[in-house]
Homo-oligomer: A and B are copies of this chain.
Amino acid sequence: MARKQGSHAETTGPKVREAALHLFARHGFAAVSMRQIAKEVGVQAGALYLYTPDKQTLLFDLMQGHMEHLLASWQVPEGTPAAQLEGFCRHHIRYHLDRPELVFIAYMELRNLESENFAVIEGLRKRYEDQLEGILRAGQASGAFAVADTKIATLAIIAMLTGVNTWYREGGRLARSDVEGIYWDMVRKSVSA
Residues of A with Cβ closer than 8 Å to B? Answer: 26-28, 30-31, 108, 111-112, 147-149, 152-153, 155-160, 162-164, 166-167, 174, 179, 181-183, 185-187, 189-192
Secondary structure at the A interface, as helix, strand, loop or mixed, is: helix
Closest 10 pairs between A and B when the two form their complex, measured CB to CB: A159-B163, A190-B190, A30-B30, A160-B160, A30-B31, A186-B190, A148-B182, A156-B160, A189-B190, A189-B189
User: Which of B27, B153, B162, B163 contacts A186, CB < 8 Å?
Assistant: B153
Whether A185 pairs with B28 at a CB distance below 8 angstroms is no
Whether the Cβ atoms of B182 and A152 lie closer than 8 Å is yes
- Bound complex: CA of A182 vs CA of B146, how far in Å? 11
Contact of A163 among B148, B155, B191 (CB under 8 A): B155
Quote the shortest CB–CB distance from A54 to chain B (angstroms). 16
When chains A and B are docked, how far (Å) is the Cα of A148 from the Cα of B156?
A: 20
A105–B1 CA distance with the chains assembled, in angstroms: 45
